């Protein structure tokens, strides 16, 4: 092995699906692209990394709720547009023409074109590390989402999608929650 610079480390690990996080300040709905996420348990707790440099963060601080929408791979260009412009100065729902989907338990809308919408409340801001802990309070997904191609950001402006599914469910049965 060759030495790898520390600023490349995230590109090895950062492969979870790119998500679109919606917020609403009561005046305007907004959406940002997030690839720095993690699952913190089987019970619907998630973490994402963001901070005061984003308009969405300010709304999250005020309202403590959002929707984590999971786009399929064909929404790549929308995800890049959403992730390169700020809701502080533009309306990203208008620019991308994505369709709002009314949420059940939170004010921000989901996104109709996505594979799934996870309605979340903020549990905690870990501001020292720019981490926000979320808990899912409702979730909806399209039929067949498990087989759909999602987007995986490498972190250098490139994305992975597709790939083979390798099945080790039998070997992992004792570690999986019932139903999976």
Ligand X SMILES: Cc1cc2nc3c(=O)[nH]c(=O)nc-3n(C[C@H](O)[C@H](O)[C@H](O)COP(=O)(O)O)c2cc1C
Q: Which residues make beta-bridge pairs with 68? A: 21, 118
Q: Which is nearer to ligand X, 48 or 116 (CB)?
A: 48
Q: Which is nearer to ligand X, 52 or 173 (CB)?
A: 52
Q: Which of 17, 24, 29, 35 binds ligand X (CB under 6 A)?
A: 35
Sheet with strand 116-126: strands edge to edge: 29-34, 19-24, 65-70, 116-126, 131-141, 45-49, 37-39
Q: Which is nearer to ligand X, 79 or 115 (CB)?
A: 79
Residue among 67, 60, 72, 46 at smallest CA distance from 146: 72
Q: Which of 34, 60, 115, 150 binds ligand X (CB under 6 A)?
A: 34
* Binding characters for ligand X, 86-125, by CB under 6 A (x = yes): xxx-------------------------------------
CA end-to-end span of the chain, whole Å? 37
36 is a contact residue toward ligand X (CB under 6 A): yes
Contact residues for ligand X, defined by CB under 6 A: 18, 30, 32-36, 49-50, 54-56, 79-80, 83-88, 153
């Amino acid at each position: 092995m060759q030495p790898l610079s520390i600023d490349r480390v995230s590109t090895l690990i950062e492969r979870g699906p790119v998500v679109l996080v919606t917020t609403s300040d009561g005046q305007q709905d907004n959406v940002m692209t997030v690839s720095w996420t993690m699952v913190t348990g089987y019970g619907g707790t998630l973490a994402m990394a963001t901070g005061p440099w984003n308009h969405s963060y300010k709304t999250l601080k005020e309202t403590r709720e959002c929707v984590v929408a999971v786009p399929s791979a064909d929404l790549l260009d929308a995800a890049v547009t959403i992730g390169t412009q700020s809701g502080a100065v533009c309306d990203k729902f208008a620019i991308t023409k994505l369709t709002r989907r009314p949420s059940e338990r939170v004010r921000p809308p989901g996104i109709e074109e996505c594979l799934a919408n996870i309605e979340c409340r903020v549990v905690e801001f870990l501001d020292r590390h720019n981490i926000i802990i979320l808990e899912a309070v409702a979730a909806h997904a399209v039929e067949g989402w498990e087989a759909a191609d999602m987007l995986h950001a490498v972190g250098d402006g490139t994305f992975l999608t597709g790939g083979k599914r390798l099945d080790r469910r039998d070997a992992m049965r004792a570690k999986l929650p019932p139903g999976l």
